[in-house]
Structure formats: structure tokens, C-alpha cells
Amino acid sequence: MIIQFICRAILLGVPLLYGSTGEIITEKSGHLNLGIPGIMYVGAISGVTGSFLYENACGNDIANMSPVLAVLIPLLCSIIGSVLMGLIYSFLTVTLHANQNVTGLALTTLGIGLGNFLGASLINITKSELPSIALTKTSSFFLTELPFADKLGWFGELFLSHDFLTYLAIIIALVATFVLNRTRVGLNLRAVGENPATADAAGINVPKYRYVATCIGSAIAGLGGLQYVMAYANGVWSNNAFGDRGWMAIALVIFAVWKPSLAIVGSFLFGALCNANNYIQGLGTETQELFKMLPYVVTIIVLIITSMRNNKQNQPPASLGVNYFREER
């Protein structure tokens, strides 16, 4: 029961982890990308479209599908889709100096629209009765467990039974922590986010860092959408199912005080909170509805506590949300 609860929490938390790792990398460059919810939709639907086409090309027969391609095609499509969204965002905010909040929100509108439109179109093509597309074959490749996982009892279930995107999320978060804190690129990136004028004077190419950080961040966030469809929803896409996870991912950035390693813990905790209502015994349906606000209430409490403590180390990048124009100093 407890093991199951934790596994479920991890499964629910991984899209948030991808989203917040991506957003942390973007925010470290000084750009607040509120388009992440839309980008996660696009990442999900691009992957879904890719694997849909591949499944059809294989005649919907699992025997014809190569496991490598079945995983790689959605993965690549997802990355391409979300990087394109990241490029739109960075072109508007870095090159055209557009307002970051407005650009991000418009991108979210666009991304959710794209997701729902393409999703509905694919559903149209399959002519299915249900308002969803089932890519269970592709999903089964994504969900392949390590072969010895079920032989190791609870240990196996807790640590080894997850889909590979879960491990990838943790690896990405750890790598991001390392790169941000221990490498020159990370140092430069943080400099760009803290004080772009100084970074520029030191010879760092500010626009380039911001472009790259936003695009990498978008790609990572998009994978979160893909993980949601392929692993959590077992390959079933239905419109608007992804819900508000993108916003929770952005909130998680503050929870994790801009540290990807803390985001790992935070996302699993959020996953647990999202799921708590199903595991607490003896709740009526009406109390369950109230329990569903738990993650949001906790986010608010975290926001308040971090702002009250006002710790000098746990601050957002100093120039977060401010566009950099070299001639304006």
C-alpha cells in the first residue's frame, strides 16, 4: 500500500520534475517562461503525433515495430516540437525584447490550442468512438521495466520498476545541478541571469545563452508532457487531460528555490499531495474534493515561507523577467 502510494507519487511527480527543471534552466538565464504549460502540451502532442504515425506505418502491429524506433520517434518529435515553441519565445523576448509574461501566456494559449486541435484531429482520423487516442503499443515500450525489478520485492518496486523517462528526469535534474554549479557554462549562465550587463562586459554572449537556455529548458519541459501521456496515461491522449500540471511545475521552481536537485524531492512530494485523497481511508467524495486543493495550498504556504525567510541565498536570479538591451545601461 505504502509502496504503491510512493510509486504513484513518483509517477505523478515526474512531469512536474521535467517542467520545473526546464523552467529552472530558463529562469537561470533571466527569462521567466510562463509558456511552459503550453510547451508541455506541445511536447506531449508532438510525441503522440510521431508515435501515431509510426504505429500506422507499421500497420498497427506490434510485431513490426522496432522498440528503438518506437521510443526514439516520439522522443525526437517531442523535443523538436517543444524546441520550436522555445524558439518562438526566445525570438520574441530576446531578439524583439517583448514582455516576457505576455509572451509566455500567449504561448500557453497557443500551445494548449495546438495540443487540443491536433489531438482532436488525430481522434478524427482514427474515427474512434472515444474522445481519445490510445497508443498502448508505443506506451508498452516506454513502460518496459528493468528485467530483474520484480524479483527484488519492495526494493525493486520502489526503485527499479519505473519507466525509463522517470530515471531520465532524475538524471537530467542531477546533470542540470552539476552543470549549473560546477561548470564554466553554468557559471556564465548564472551570470547572465544575475547581471547581463556585467556578463556582457566579461565577453559572454548574452543573447546566445538566453536562446540556448530557453530552448533546452523547453525541450526538457516538453518531455514532461510526453512522460505524462506515455507512462502515466498508458499512451492515451485525451484533450485537456494534462490539466494544470504546467503551472504546478512553475510553482515548483520557487518551492525548489531554483535548484534542480531540490526539484526532484519537491516534485515527488507534489505527486504525493496530488494523490493523497485517494489513499486516506474513509474520506467521503465531498472531502476528497477539498483534499484535492492540498497541493495548491502547500504551494502557497511554501511561497509565503520562502518570501518571509528572505534568505539571501534563496533568491530568484536578480534580473529575472527583465529583457537585456545592450544599449540601455
Partner 1 sequence: MSNAKEIKISREPLLKVVKRDDMPPLKAWLVRFGTLAISFIIIGLFSMAISGKSFGETYEIMFMGVFGRIFEGKLTMLWKYLQEVAMLLALALALTPAFKMKFWNCGAEGQALMGGLAAMICMIELGDILSYPVLIAVIAVTSILAGAVWGLIPAIFKAFFNTNETLFTLMMNYIATQIIAYYLYIKGGGSNVINPVSAGNFPTVGTNEYFVNITVVTVITVIMFIYLKYSKQGYEISVVGESQNTARYIGINVKKVIIRTMAISGALCGVTGMLLVAGKDHSINANLVGGEGFTAILMSWLGQFNPFIMAVMIAIITFIEIGVAKVADTALLNSSFSSIIVGIVILMLVGCEFFIHYSVKFRHNKKEVEA
What is the closest distance, in whole angstroms, from the C-beta atom of residue 38 to partner 1 in the complex?
8
Q: Examine residue 105 and tell whether it contacts partner 1 (CB under 8 A).
A: yes
85 lines the binding site for partner 1 (CB under 8 A) = no
Binding segment (CB under 8 A) for partner 1, from list 66-74, 89-97, 218-226, 258-266? 89-97
133 φ, ψ (degrees, to nearest 5): -115, 130
Quote the CA–CA distance of 174 and 109 in Å, as a whole number.
31
Considering Cα of 301, then 305, then 307, then 313, what sign does the dihedral take?
negative
User: Residues 169, 17: contact at Cβ < 8 Å?
Assistant: yes
d(CA 55, CA 215): 28
Report, in Å, the least distance between residue 141 CB and partner 1.
28
Using CB under 8 A, pick the residue from 125, 175, 304, 318 that binds partner 1: 304
CB of 167 to partner 1, least distance (A): 29
| Radius of gyration of the chain from its Cα atoms, rounded to whole angstroms | 20
- Choose between 134 and 322: whose C-beta lies nearer to partner 1: 322
Among 2, 184, 310, 312, binds partner 1 (CB under 8 A): 310
Strands (E), the chain: 132-134, 236-238
Closest distance between partner 1 and the C-beta of residue 316, in Å? 8
For residue 222, which of 87, 101, 75, 321 has the smallest C-alpha distance? 75
208 CB burial (10 A radius; 0-12, 13-18, 19+): exposed
For residues 88 and 219, which CB has a smaller minimum distance to partner 1 in the complex? 88
Q: How far is the CB of 92 from partner 1 (least distance, A)?
A: 5
Q: Per CB under 8 A, does 159 bind partner 1?
A: no
Query: 138 with 54: CB under 8 angstroms?
Result: yes
Tell whether residue 313 is a contact of partner 1 (CB under 8 A): no
311 in contact with partner 1 (CB under 8 A): no
Q: Which is nearer to partner 1, 202 or 304 (CB)?
A: 304
Closest to partner 1 by CB, 102 or 171: 102
End-to-end CA distance of the chain: 59
How many chain residues touch partner 1 (CB under 8 A)? 52
Q: Which of residues 20-79 bind partner 1 (CB under 8 A)?
A: 34, 38
The CB-side HSE value for 194 (13 A sphere, CA atoms) comes to 12
216/93 Cα distance (integer angstroms): 16
49-57, 182-190, 191-199, 290-298 -> range binding partner 1 (CB under 8 A): 290-298
Q: Which residue has the cell 510562463?
A: 34
How far apart are the C-alpha atoms of 172 and 220, rounded to whole Å? 8
Binding site for partner 1 (CB under 8 A): 34, 38, 88, 92, 96-99, 101-103, 105-117, 119-121, 124, 239, 244, 247, 250-251, 254, 285-286, 289-290, 292-293, 296-297, 299-300, 303-304, 307-308, 310, 325, 327-328
